Amino acid sequence: MENTATPETNPAQEIQTTFTVEEIQELLPHRYPFALVDRIIDYVPGEKAVGLKNVTINEPYFPGHIASKPLMPGVLQIEAMAQVGGVILTLLPGMKGKFFAFGGIDKVRFRRPVVPGDQLIMTVELLSFKRNRIAKMQGQGLVDGQLAVRAEMLFSLLD
């Protein structure tokens, strides 16, 4: 007998709350060297996602970004948070396969360096989504429980 249960007809069926790198690649177009999210470790539909980036010395930017003191560039920390936000947006109803680009970045602050060996844990929350085109999100990245980066991000649907 075929199982026709859906989350609506079977409350015991759970919503997916974690995503592997392969599942993220099904949602986002980013590829090496700009795929900056290794895993989604928590996801609440239409509200927030928590992603992680394992920062290794093998990253392609480290040889040129302060060779004697390798630092993950701040713009790539913001890009990584934006990709976590992209997961939220592409999982909204009717948005699968759509691409949202930066429309603006506000209130950016970098509080501590992100270096090889760190795990950047990024929490991104959807603040608003207007006309199925414009999204505003806030995000923060933590390393070892310490705030590394925080920003508000504006996204626009690209046709």
Q: Which residues are catalytic?
A: 65
Q: Which residue has the tokens 């980013």?
A: 30
Q: Cis omega before residue 45 (within 30°)?
A: no
Q: Is 55 exposed, middle or buried (0-12, 13-18, 19+ CB in 10 A)?
A: buried
Residues 104 and 53: their CA atoms lie apart, in Å, by 22
Q: Which two tokens stand for residue 23?
A: 């599942």
Residues 71 and 63: their CA atoms lie apart, in Å, by 10
Residues 148 and 134: their CA atoms lie apart, in Å, by 26
